[in-house]
Amino acid sequence: MLTGVPQASAAGLGQVTGFGSNPGNLAMYSYTPSGLATGRPLVVALHGCTQTANDYYGNSGWAQLADRWGFAVVFPQTNSTNNPLSCFSWFDSAKDTRGKGEALSVKQMVDKAVALYGSDPSRVYVTGLSAGAGMAADLLADYPEVFAGGSIAAGLPAQCASTQSAASGCQNSGQNLTPAQWGDKVRASNPGWTGPWPRVAIWHGSSDTTVAPVNATELRDQWTNVWGIPQTASATQSLPGGTTLSVYNDSTGRPAVQLYSVSGMGHGLPVSPGSGTADCGRSGAYFLNTICSSYWTGLFWGLDGSTGGGTRLPAPGGLTVTGTTDTTASLSWNAVAGAASYTVYRGGAQVGTGTGITYTDTGLSAGTGYAWTVAAVDANGAVGTASSAVTATTTGSVFTPRCYTDTNYQQVSAGRAHQSGGYAYANGSNQNMGLWNLFVTHTLQETSAGYFVLADSGCPA
């Protein structure tokens, strides 16, 4: 057990027995805020290897958020009899598939919790860390009719491995499957189910050496394919802790899949101890002080009472391009009530933020068309609905690259190169072309006006 984590008490984490046949030999623990009303959401939170339900209760932040927003939390617990490291068996088809083993035990816990606490069966969510995240992904595939959403932290795609011997391959490297092949693993987990599908959050540290970050990409491919949406992000956003959020919207414009990449973070659950609105959790082994993933996941699911997916504020109206130059475009829009700031996107990628209702985008190419949208951000950092796109073309003409093959003497004479000390040098790049004479020949490519590079191996212009 992690040091510094408070022991469960009668008013805190409690064990629930008699929740079903329990073929997975799991223990059920739960936390419910005092005076919890019926009809509230339910979150299932699965610990990582070597951890316990009490560790996850004390460190993950889910109990804090349950108090704030009002929902029940179930903390399943496995044991060393099931696995020597107390890992959930996400890699064992006899334990992680629909109607079998640990997966069925968790489903029975959900049924018990819904009956005990009067939870809303349409708002049940599952989250986990590492092996718990791998099992969470399997559960989303096994029981899409049970879970409205999931969150997978430092985890793996659903049904990545079916034996323990294959598990290390999933953890350490990509499996070279197409998005459709990944999606097929989900569809095969519950044949005949055509949706609705759970909305999935994916969290991963860029420096994770236990579960390779490629798993986050494969999870993105898997669940966007299940949703039938592109693998290209609808929008990106910078969050605290060096976190980049990539959003993948469904056909209605609502986020269906969200990928959170935490720069420089190793293997663990992102938490952020503190007293701020977006803070929660405690740091410790495999609970890493970067950003409170539970808070941002809760916003995505709408546990705070919003519509979910961060769509808490309406789209700004009146987005207009007020002027362009060959390298800039100036934008303006109408203010949104309740907005603390605004995020500007070019071609779906975030390019700027600010508190005002104007923005000048810089570093553009001359004579090129661009599209922009803008979204309001509330005081909690939740991003609202993006505006309709506005397009414009920068001024100036588009430069067409050209290639010239000639002797060094003629390249200098034509103004494409210059000579110094008997050697020729390409203008712009200053690359050494050899002796300045009529016997050495080179091809130069003009990549921009007056800028030449050596292109002897083949000129793409």
State pTM to two decimals. 0.69
pLDDT > 90 in the chain, percent: 75
Name the architecture of domain 14-301.
3-Layer(aba) Sandwich (3.40)
Confidence of residue 308 (pLDDT cuts 50, 70, 90): low
Residue 130 annotated to the active site: yes
3-state secondary structure at position 38: coil
Positive or negative torsion for Cα 212, 218, 224, 230: positive
Q: Contact 190/141 with Cβ under 8 angstroms?
A: yes
Q: What angle do CA 243, 270, 189 make, to 5 degrees?
A: 95
Q: Contact 154/129 with Cβ under 8 angstroms?
A: yes
The arithmetic mean of pLDDT across residues 68-88, rounded, is 96
User: Is the predicted pLDDT of residue 91 greater than 60, yes or no?
Assistant: yes
Confidence of residue 245 (pLDDT cuts 50, 70, 90): very high
- Find the range with the poorest average confidence among 73-77, 159-163, 372-376, 410-414: 372-376
The pLDDT tens digits of the residues spanning 253-302 come to 889 999 999 999 999 999 999 988 899 999 999 999 999 999 999 999 99
3-state secondary structure at position 22: coil
Q: What is the DSSP string of 314-341?
A: PPPP--EEEEE-SS-EEEE----TT-SE
What's the confidence (pLDDT) of residue 307? 61
* Maximum alpha-carbon separation in the chain: 93
- Find the range with the poorest average confidence among 361-365, 413-417, 457-461: 457-461
Confidence of residue 380 (pLDDT cuts 50, 70, 90): low
User: Is the predicted pLDDT of residue 238 greater than 90, yes or no?
Assistant: no
List 86, 130, 261, 272, catalytic entry: 130
What's the confidence (pLDDT) of residue 306? 67
What's the confidence (pLDDT) of residue 311? 44
User: Is the predicted pLDDT of residue 2 greater than 50, yes or no?
Assistant: no
User: Is the predicted pLDDT of residue 310 greater than 60, yes or no?
Assistant: no
Q: Can you identify the CATH homologous superfamily of domain 320-393?
A: Immunoglobulins (2.60.40.10)
User: Is the predicted pLDDT of residue 97 greater than 80, yes or no?
Assistant: yes
3-state secondary structure at position 372: strand
Whole-angstrom distance, CA of residue 59 vs CA of residue 298: 16
Q: Contact 24/82 with Cβ under 8 angstroms?
A: yes
The arithmetic mean of pLDDT across residues 163-190, rounded, is 94
* Sequence-ordered list of residues with C-beta below 8 angstroms from that of 59, at least 6 positions apart, any chain: 2, 5, 269, 271, 281, 282, 283, 284, 287
**Which tokens in the block code for residue 302?**
């709408």
User: Is the predicted pLDDT of residue 461 greater than 70, yes or no?
Assistant: no
Whole-angstrom distance, CA of residue 354 vs CA of residue 332: 12
Q: Mean pLDDT score of the chain, rounded to an integer?
A: 91
pLDDT higher for 411 or 304? 411
Confidence of residue 211 (pLDDT cuts 50, 70, 90): very high
What's the confidence (pLDDT) of residue 156? 97
User: Is the predicted pLDDT of residue 367 greater than 90, yes or no?
Assistant: no
The arithmetic mean of pLDDT across residues 29-43, rounded, is 95
- Find the range with the poorest average confidence among 316-320, 411-415, 447-451: 447-451
Q: Contact 329/323 with Cβ under 8 angstroms?
A: yes
As beta bridge partners, residue 391 has 371
Confidence of residue 418 (pLDDT cuts 50, 70, 90): very high
Confidence of residue 4 (pLDDT cuts 50, 70, 90): very low
Q: Same topology for domains 14-301 and 320-393, yes or no?
A: no
* Sequence-ordered list of residues with C-beta below 8 angstroms from that of 42, at least 6 positions apart, any chain: 71, 72, 73, 74, 110, 113, 114, 117, 119, 120, 123, 124, 125
User: Is the predicted pLDDT of residue 170 greater than 60, yes or no?
Assistant: yes
**Which tokens in the block code for residue 264?**
């420089």
Q: What angle do CA 390, 396, 397 make, to 5 degrees?
A: 105
Residue boundaries of the structural domains of the chain: 14-301, 320-393, 402-454
Confidence of residue 388 (pLDDT cuts 50, 70, 90): confident
What's the confidence (pLDDT) of residue 315? 82
